[in-house]
Amino acid sequence: MTNAERELVTKVNSGQLTIEQFNQQFPADIKKSKDYVINEIRSAIDNGNVDDLELAISLIWIAGVDKQCVDILNELLINPNHRSHQLVTKTIQELKSPSSVPFIRQMLQSNFEYLAYTGSDSDAIAKWFSWALYSIGTSDAIELMNEYSNSSDEGVRKEMAYRLSKVRM
């Protein structure tokens, strides 16, 4: 991303620029094709620059989320080098892609080690994932909730059991 592009993203993120104004000034049509967005995220991951990664991640929502974003969102979910995990999880929930279930499993297996930056307890973080699994709604998603309704972590166990009870209603 060029400095001018970074500045445009920063301005839209801070509300100094509308998305319409951004789209008129940004050199790539990121609404039509998500390739630019995905390439910028991958480049920022490869470079290890957290600030660039956060800016690149924000392009997902500026561009408008659609199924083209699922794979990169899944990768971002398990990437510890950013601070957008909750929003990534919410977006995965909205997209309802069965391909996200193995990535959610990895997050649950991690005991949320790299989510300490959120300051949230395990039950609050587990809620992100229980909602995503509930929305996905496949047998694999429900099975994962069932598995973690027996977790040794009380917060995870209670949240998964609660959300699972809503599936069975």
List, for residues 44-74, the tens digit of each pLDDT value: 999 999 999 999 999 999 999 999 999 999 9
> What is the chain's Cα-based Rg?
17
Query: Does any domain span residue 45?
Result: yes
In terms of domains, do 58 and 94 share one? Answer: no
pLDDT of residue 123: 93
Query: Does any domain span residue 80?
Result: no
Query: Does any domain span residue 108?
Result: yes
Work out the pLDDT band at 33, boundaries 50, 70, 90: confident
Task: Report pTM.
Answer: 0.92
List, for residues 103-131, the tens digit of each pLDDT value: 999 999 998 989 999 999 999 999 999 99
> Domain residues for 15?
1-64
In terms of domains, do 112 and 168 share one? Answer: yes
In terms of domains, do 160 and 92 share one? Answer: yes
| Overall number of domains in the chain | 2
Query: Does any domain span residue 33?
Result: yes
Around Cβ 105, how many Cβ atoms within 10 Å? Answer: 19
